[in-house]
Amino acid sequence: MTATTDGSTGAAPPRAASASQPLDTTAATAGTRDAAARAMQRSTDFLLSRQDAQGWWKGDLETNVTMDAEDLLLRQFLGIRDEPTTRAAALFIRGEQRDDGTWATFFGGPGELSATIEAYVALRLAGDRPDEPHMVKASAWVREQGGIAASRVFTRIWLALFGWWKWDDLPELPPELIYFPKWFPLNIYDFGCWARQTIVPLTIVSAKRPVRPAPFALDELHADARRPNPVKPLAPVASWDGVFQRLDKALHVYRKVAPRRVRKAAMNSAARWIIERQENDGCWGGIQPPAVYSVIALHLLGYDLDHPVLKAGLDSLDRFAVWRDDGARMIEACQSPVWDTCLATIALADAGVPADHPQLVKAADWMLGEQIVRPGDWSVRRPGLTPGGWAFEFHNDNYPDIDDTAEVALALRRVKHPDKARMENAIERGVRWNLGMQSKNGAWGAFDVDNTSAFPNRLPFCDFGEVIDPPSADVTGHVVEMLAVEGKSHDPRTRRGIEWLLAEQEESGAWFGRWGVNYVYGTGSVVPALVAAGLPASHRAIRRAVSWVESVQNDDGGWGEDLRSYRERGWAGHGTSSASQTAWALLALLSAGEREAKSVERGIAWLAETQREDGSWDEPYFTGTGFPWDFSINYHLYRQVFPLTALGRYVNGEPFTGGSGKGS
C-alpha cells in the first residue's frame, strides 16, 4: 500500500516548499528567459505528441476510490461482477489506502469516513478478510468515527441495497418529484444538472427499496453492534434544518399512503425522463454516477440487462475505466476531452505554434464537430435561446456548459482554419448562447441560468456536496475574457459581468475558485479577464490581486493551495507548490503587467527547474474541483497545459486579445 501525508489540519498552514530542490533565486533574468524558452519548447513537443489522431487531447481524470468501490457494488447488485475486474479494482483501491488504514478523497488529504467504508466493502467483495491487518486498521478507524451511521446518505444507500442498512433510516425521495412544475420549490430543475441526473433515478430506487442478499455481514463497521441505526435528534423546528427534517418524516408517512397508481405513474414518468436523456454512447450526462443510478433504476422497473438501453448504459461504464500498467483499474468520474482540447490549443498557440499548424487545425476541426446545436435541459429556463454551446465530455448533448463554450471560442480564435466561414458561424453561435445564459445578477454559472435556490442544499438527502449551480467568479471570468476577445468589452452584458466580478473580490484581493483549487485558480481566471476587458493594470482591483498573489508565493518560487482552503480560510493560497497552480498565479501576474517582477521570474524559474526531461511535469496534487471540498479532481493534463500557457505568455508576451473578434 502507498500512503499519503497524514492530513493534519493544524491551526496554521505551512508555507510549503515543493518536493524539488530549492531554486537559486539569484539567477539573472536573461538566464530565466532562456530556461523558459527551452522549457516551453520541450513542453510544446510533449503536448503535440499526446494529441489523438482525431484531433483531441484527454488526460486521465482522477477522483477517489468511491468510484471504483461503487462500480464493484453495482456489478455485485446486477450479478455481473467478474474476477478479473474485481481483482484489478481491488489492486487500485488497496494502493490508495493510507498508513492509518483510511482512504482520503484527495492526495495528501485526511481520511474520509464514507470513502473508507466504501473502499473497505469493495475489498471485502474482492476477498480481503476482515482480520487482515490493513482491514483491521480500516474498520477500527470507521468505528472511532461513528461507524456506518455517521457516513453520508449515498454510502448508506449503497449499503441498503444489500441489507447492510435499513431503508427506513434513509431520507425519503419520492418519484412524484418529477411532477413538480418548474416554478414550484424543489422541482428537479432547482437542482444542478449533475444532481438532477442523479436524483431522478434515485427516486425510483427509493420507491422500490430493493435488497439483494448480502455476501457477508458488516458488523465490524458499526460503532455499536447492538444498535447500529441510532436515532439522531431533530434540529429545532424554527430552523431550516428542522423544517426539512420534519418534511422528510412527513414523506415517510406519505410513502405508506401514496396511491399505487400515482406512484407507478410517477416512476414511469421518471423512467421516460431518464431514457430521453441517454446519450448516443449510452451514458447519461457524460458522468459516471448518473449512469450507475440510471442503470439500477431502469433494471428495477423490469428492463433486463440485454435491453438496448441497459446494454448501452453498461457498455458506457466500461469506457470510464483506465487500466494501468501494473494491472490496476481506476474509474474516472467523467472524461474531459473538450475541456482538455481547448486548453491544449490555447497553450500551444500562446507558446508560438503557428495558427495554421496542422495539429491545431485538426484540433479546431474536432472542436467544431462537437458543437451542440439542439436544446437540452438548459432550455427549460431559456426556451427561446438558440443552441450553440460545447460540453465537457465526448457525449453530453443535454448539458453543454458555459465554461467550455467560452474556452472553446477562445481556442478557435487562435487557429487559422481554412474554412473561415464555418469558424465564424460556430463562434458566433457559441457567443450568442453564452450571452443568453447570463444570470440575472450579471454573472454566469456552469450549466444553468439562475440555479440559485436555497432549498435543495437543505434536504437531508443532499449531504454529498454542492447540488446547485450558482454563478462563479472563474466561469464568469472566462466568459468576460471571451467576450472581450470578441470585441464586446463595452457590451452592457459584459459590463454587468465585470461589475459582478469587482463586487465579488475578497477582502484579501483574491477571488474564490469554484471549479479549481481555489483562490489561486479564481484569481488566475479573473485577472486576465478584467485586463482583457479593458481594466488598466493600475486599477485598484488588479493591484490588490497582484499583492495577494505575491504574498502567497512559496519560498521555492512556486505556488500551491491545499483543498482545505474550502473549509479553513487560513489555507487560502497555501500549500505545496504545483505546476498548475504556479501557472495560474503567473497568468494573473503576467496579465497585470508584472513580467519583469521578481515574483514572476522566480515562478518561471520554478517551472523550468521542475520540468521533467520529457517536457512534462509531475503533479500528484488535486487542483480541480467537482464540489468544493467534498469532491476533488486531479486533471492529469492540467500539469501540462497551464504551465505551457504561462511559459508562452512569459516568452512571447500576452496572447491575441481580438478587437472586432473577426481578425484571426
List the catalytic residues.
403
Residue 100 DSSP symbol: T
Question: For residue 471, which of 457, 495, 451 has the smallest C-alpha distance?
Answer: 451
In 218-373, which ranges are continuous DSSP H helix?
Answer: 240-257, 260-276, 288-300, 308-318, 337-350, 358-369
Question: For residue 341, which of 319, 359, 367 has the smallest C-alpha distance?
Answer: 367
* Residues 273, 262: Cα–Cα separation, whole Å: 16
CB 150 within 8 A of CB 221: no
Which uninterrupted H or E stretch holds 125? helix 113-125
* Residues 117, 293: Cα–Cα separation, whole Å: 19
Per the structure block, which three cell numbers stand in for 305? 440487462
Paired residues of 390 in beta bridges: 401
Per the structure block, which three cell numbers stand in for 151? 457516513
Q: How many CB atoms lie within 10 A of CB 322?
A: 16
Could you give phi then psi for residue 397, rounded to 5 degrees?
-65, -20
Could you give phi then psi for residue 574, rounded to 5 degrees?
-120, 140
CB 662 within 8 A of CB 413: no
* Residues 488, 99: Cα–Cα separation, whole Å: 54
Give burial (CB, 10 Å; 0-12/13-18/19+) of 168.
Answer: exposed
Q: Are strands 321-323 and 61-62 parallel, antiparallel or unpaired?
A: unpaired
Q: Which residue has the cell 465530455?
A: 393
* Residues 485, 409: Cα–Cα separation, whole Å: 9
